[in-house]
Amino acid sequence: MNTAVSTASVAPVSAANRGWTVTAAGLGINLALGILYAWSLFKGAIEKEFGWQGSQLNDPYALCCLVFAFAMIVAGRCQDKFGPRLTASIGGLLVGAGFVVCSTTNSYGIWLLGFGVLAGVGIGFGYSSATPPALKWFPASKTGMIAGLVVAGFGLAPVYLAPTSQYLLGHYQVQKSMLILGLAFVVIVCGLAQLLVNPPAGYVAGPKPAAGAAAKPAAASSTPGEILRQPTFWLLWVIYFIGAGAGLMVIGSISGMAKQSLGNLAFVAVAIMAIGNAGGRILAGTLSDKIGRRWTLCLVLSVQAALMFLAIPLTGAKDTAAVIIVLLAALIGANYGANLALFPSYTKDLWGLKSFGVNYGVLFTAWGVGGLVLPRLQQTLTASSGGSYRSSFITAGLLLLVGAALTFLIKPPQPQSGAAAK
């Protein structure tokens, strides 16, 4: 009898510890995946050393983001079928290979292949495998918090990438720096991937919900084909397109202003904005566990819209203090980052964990399309208004208000029977 009691008391603690280990590994992998941000840090050196001009300086990064978004579909399928360990390891090898390829040449075409395609696919494979196993170890009441913690690593990456890249470029120039980062990426991601494990069959996270508790999702094993036929999916896709795209539409511009304002202390602006981005993911995810996804998403989009309109006078005035611009950029980054925690949580709530990887991969295409379309719109608006960002802020703000209004059309998950939940 004593043995039985001992086993019963230790098992939950052991499971919780394993869950936090998997969560930490996912966060660490996303910290490495944030190497995507290395492009903005390397761009000046690439222009100087390689002589690239115009769109050449942005094309590898833009292609990487687009490939990353759509690779999430294939990577999600791989994660669901073969598990997170193998999927993340493939991601680490692909990104490492892409950076090594880039280290051998200054050819624009080869960099499109290395950074744009290989690294883009690799980031998709790594990112898609970091969140699902962590969510499976915890009860539904912690879904938002855990998703926020895991994806926070991606937003926090510039904190260490900024000084690291500065050091590498100062000592080794572009190509050797890419080689060092590529090799380090393989070791770190493939090493952490070995800690990504799913719970054993039959594992149930947390106690059974009491009567009257929040309902579980009705479709615990929805397939991509099923969710694509649901109006709720397309509604979420449009809102994700707006929330992520509108943030990316102006975040680059206002981040540039913040860095410019601080001159030699630009790395401080980078760190503060990265902390804001990561913090927004954790805060929004945790808040959504308390007040619900819909209200949190509506709040995030509404506050982001208000920040866009507030940015017009603040960025237009010549005497605005640098610290104000940095804080504004950090808040916009935090609200943008919140989307990256809320939408995977919504995916689990509505369609379950069985096909979570591929289902979220399909929804994540909204991030890729939004990040491609709306920043290009911003460039057009800025050019047509003589370099003013006013029209971009107004457009982003109005889009975000539309997104906030659309959240009221999202139907919550319906209660399911105990049999269906298994």
- The CA–CA distances, whole Å, from 210 to 204, 397, 413 equal 15, 41, 17
- Which CATH homologous superfamily contains domain 17-193? MFS general substrate transporter like domains (1.20.1250.20)
Q: Where in the chain is the domain with CATH 1.20.1250.20?
A: 17-193, 224-412
**Half-sphere exposure at residue 377, Cβ-oriented, CA atoms within 13 angstroms:** 20
| pLDDT reported for residue 11 | 53
Of 185-194, 240-249, 381-390, the one with minimum mean pLDDT is 381-390
d(CA 379, CA 284): 29
Cβ-proximal residues to 391 (8 Å cutoff; 6+ apart), any chain: 381, 382, 384, 385
d(CA 118, CA 96): 9
Element (H, E) at 338: helix 322-351
Global confidence as pTM: 0.88
Of 16-20, 97-101, 223-227, 260-264, the one with minimum mean pLDDT is 260-264
**Beta carbons of 93 and 129 less than 8 angstroms apart:** no
pLDDT at 7 over 90: no
d(CA 155, CA 166): 19
Question: How many other CB atoms are there within 10 angstroms of residue 248's CB atom?
Answer: 20
Instruction: Give SS3 for 88.
Output: helix
Maximum Cα–Cα distance across the chain: 80
d(CA 337, CA 274): 10
CATH of domain 224-412: 1.20.1250.20
**Beta carbons of 155 and 340 less than 8 angstroms apart:** yes
d(CA 92, CA 89): 5
d(CA 76, CA 19): 20
The percent helix, strand, coil of the chain (3-state, each to 5) is: 85, 0, 15
Of 19-28, 250-259, 385-394, the one with minimum mean pLDDT is 250-259
| pLDDT reported for residue 259 | 72
| pLDDT reported for residue 53 | 87
413 φ/ψ sector (left φ>0, alpha ψ -120 to 50, else beta)? beta
pLDDT at 219 over 70: no
Return the structure tokens found at 111: 């960099």
Question: CB-based burial of residue 231 (10 Å sphere; 0-12 exposed, 13-18 middle, 19+ buried)?
Answer: exposed
pLDDT at 299 over 50: yes
235: Cα separation from own chain's centroid: 20
